[in-house]
Amino acid sequence: MSIRIFVPLAALLVSLLPAQNRQQPSQEDLKAKRTEKLAKEVFKKAPWVADYDKAREQAKKENKLMFAYFTRSYAG
């Protein structure tokens, strides 16, 4: 099969794959991204609590408000 037919045919076959199979990262990838995100230097500069239950427990115990920062690690 010549390259001129193979490449468009391969592209066509890839486009016919179910979207989920192509785009869904594995759980291992997601876990690795999560670890990498939470290890970022910026989160070491202040005492962030990443566990929602523990954060609320600590806020109640110390009679404090919580400042919440929502981020994600699954993209990029």
Partner 1 sequence: MLFLHNTSRVEDEPYPTLLQDKGFRGFPSICFMDAEGNVLAKPGRSVQAFRDGLASTKSLVVLRQKGDKATPAEQKELFLAELKLDLVAVADIQARADKLTLTDAEKGMVASKIVDGEIMAVMQKGRELGQDEMLKQLADMAKGGKTPSDAVAPNFWPAVLNWASKAKDAALAQKAFDALEKRFANDKNPNLDRAKKSWAKLLEDAKAK
Please say which residue, 15 or 27, places its beta carbon nearer to partner 1: 27
Taking the complex as a whole, the smallest distance from the CB of residue 8 to partner 1 amounts, in Å, to: 33
Least Å from the CB of residue 46 to partner 1: 6
Hey, how many other C-beta atoms are within 10 angstroms of the C-beta on 34?
13
Q: Are 36 and 43 in contact (CB under 8 A)?
A: no
73 in Cβ contact with 25 (< 8 Å): no
Does 65 engage in binding with partner 1 (CB under 8 A)? yes
Give the Cα separation of 24 and 57 in Å (integer): 35
- Give, as ranges, the residues between 34 and 63 that touch partner 1 (CB under 8 A): 34, 37-38, 43, 46-53, 55-56, 58-60, 62-63
